[in-house]
């Protein structure tokens, strides 16, 4: 399931990037800002306290996810005001998205290897 969630978040990011580049409709800022609304956010919210404690990486991923959505919100707000997006903010968003994906991939590999040992 985690692999599906990772892929879904990548697609979500891609749609946002397309919107910033003028190739798709820009989503509403409220929808962007709510890091609980995307599939990854819903999955994070559904993890039990026991599951969270079992994975030290969990809080890092949550923070990266929240930061990504905050940056995305800033970018969308800026775009709506000026019809342009700051290149620096866009670069930050892309880097944050990559970093989040990398951490999620590491976590998925670790979870899969531990599952194989159980």
Tell me the C-alpha distance between 51 and 59, whole Å: 11
CA distances from 60 to 21, 57, 77 (A): 29, 5, 26
Predicted TM-score of the model (pTM): 0.86
**Per-residue pLDDT reduced to its tens digit, 18-74:** 988 889 888 887 888 899 999 999 988 988 777 777 777 888 999 999 999 999 999
Q: Retrieve residue 66's tokens.
A: 């929240």
Percentage of the chain beyond pLDDT 70 is 97
Can you name the CATH fold of 2-117? 1.20.120
- CB contact set of 100 (below 8 Å; sequence gap of 6+): 9, 61, 64, 65, 68
Measured distance CA(117)–CA(96) in Å, rounded: 32
């Amino acid at each position: 399931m985690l692999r599906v969630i990772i892929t879904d978040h990548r697609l979500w990011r891609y749609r946002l990037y397309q919107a910033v580049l003028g190739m798709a409709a820009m989503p509403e800022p409220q929808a962007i800002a709510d890091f609980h609304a995307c599939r990854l956010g819903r999955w994070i919210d559904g993890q039990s306290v026991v599951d969270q404690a079992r994975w030290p990486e969990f809080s890092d991923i949550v923070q990266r996810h929240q930061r990504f959505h905050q940056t995305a919100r800033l970018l969308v707000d800026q775009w709506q005001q000026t019809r342009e997006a700051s290149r620096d903010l866009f670069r930050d968003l892309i880097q944050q998205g990559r970093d989040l994906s990398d951490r999620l991939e590491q976590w998925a590999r670790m979870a899969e290897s531990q599952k194989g040992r159980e």
